[in-house]
Structure 1
């Protein structure tokens, strides 16, 4: 089913609702705690997701909903909205405006619409299948990258890789920096990095351990800007993907990236 103008408008209203819940709490006193997986959650996360769910209950009651904080609500349409109210909660807690709200629409298992919204700086990337990615209403494109050496690589944290993933990431980082890691990766940023890649400021992002709510919205944004999103085997990202994620601004570098990653 193609993405409609109504879907695009609803996705933006969802991001608006989340932002309205988040902004009053940014750099203010707020409740927070650790979840069972030891990741933090704040009252802003919960308030933002609750606001989005209320809007979906009113405007798309037949669609399913998957949210980081409140789980899954089954639907009857074959479509699911995937919500991450604050991707980068640690950055939010630290008062760093590099977190974002993620809104995705899945048709079956395929991400077909995505929003990355930074509610403090009011920066918004909107992507949808078959449409160019927009940044605050204007079309953006990834940049060309003639070779892997010299590519600007980002990841949220190297500490998030486990086991053999560590070696793969190190090989990729070394290839991009020609072995001189002083010229190496950009750290931090969570979903904000993917918006920067879509706008042509980064070349490559490598991450692991992501969940569906972490990556679903990123796919239409990056691919609508001319980039490629895939897993560490080069396969497209779907609801069944295991969370090893690559974003490649210049799709021509895909084989180089996979070769470096796997040695």
Structure 2
């Protein structure tokens, strides 16, 4: 394990120390959205990100940080940590253990280390130069995506149909109709299951940089691929397709390209 991979594990442990006492407990909660919308943030989100930032500043004071709750600090640095202290805040509020902490290190503009942590069930998925691994119960083992030749055999996932625009929803519905099984509500945990070989494709839209930066190293280190809806590099539009087998993506791209127009 590299120095930065080890530090990502340390940061995930610090986030768990902060978030777990709040989960299924009492905490302050705010709605960041305007009237008629709901974009929640909790005391756990804020305190966890603050704790992670404190560790980064102490260990690597020249590194930048981008976080969902406290914005950017030296985002143009060579090394930038990208944080989502609780991805899946709605699940957190509902007491469902589908939320995760996402931690990424971007080096030279590219995500090189990613951690997806679900501390309540005790799982940490780590991806980077050393490969992709799952740590659970004190045991660490390699993880790998699975082969899937046809979309009709694929298990696919997205967070919720409400995230899509009308054209995007049409594309997703077409792909979902062809797939063997589709699941909702997993947030970033779906990407961990893809890296583990349980899900074959995850497609989403509207993701921010803190939503997807940690996912790419985990999926890629496990042998998968992450692209935009046109099959190119992930960009600012937040449209993501992650696959374990590119043959599944290639079959779905006709619909997704139409939805991206």
Whether these two folds match at TM > 0.5 is: yes
- Cα distance in 1 for residues equivalent to 2:162 and 2:96: 19
1:214 aligns with 2:211: yes
Give the superposed CA RMSD. 1.5
Q: 2:245 aligns with which of 243, 250, 253?
A: 250
Work out whether residues 201 and 248 of structure 2, in 8 Å CA contact, stay in contact via their aligned partners in 1: no
Structure 1 partner of 2:155: 152
Work out whether residues 63 and 76 of structure 1, in 8 Å CA contact, stay in contact via their aligned partners in 2: no
- Cα distance in 2 for residues equivalent to 1:26 and 1:190: 17
In the TM superposition, 1:85-96 aligns within 5 A as: 85-96=85-96
Work out whether residues 154 and 248 of structure 2, in 8 Å CA contact, stay in contact via their aligned partners in 1: no
In the TM superposition, 1:30-179 aligns within 5 A as: 30-36=27-33, 38-74=38-74, 77-128=77-128, 130-136=129-135, 137-177=140-180
Partner deviation per Cα, 1:137-190 (whole Å, 9 max, x = no partner): 21010111121112111111011101321111112112214xxxxxx4101010
- Cα distance in 2 for residues equivalent to 1:202 and 1:71: 32
Cα 1:215–1:75 change in 2 (3 A) is: closer
Partner deviation per Cα, 1:224-257 (whole Å, 9 max, x = no partner): 11111111011122xx432000111112333112
Offset, 1:77? 4.0
1:202 aligns with 2:205: no
Q: 1:6 aligns with which of 3, 8, 21?
A: 3
Provide runs of 4+ in structure 1 moved above 4 Å.
Answer: none
Structure 2 partner of 1:180: none
TM-score, length-scaled by structure 2: 0.92
Runs of 5+ in structure 2 lacking a partner? none
- Cα distance in 2 for residues equivalent to 1:245 and 1:124: 22
- Cα distance in 2 for residues equivalent to 1:89 and 1:255: 32
TM-score, length-scaled by structure 1: 0.91
- Cα distance in 2 for residues equivalent to 1:81 and 1:75: 9
Runs of 5+ in structure 1 lacking a partner? 178-183
- Say how many residue pairs are matched: 251
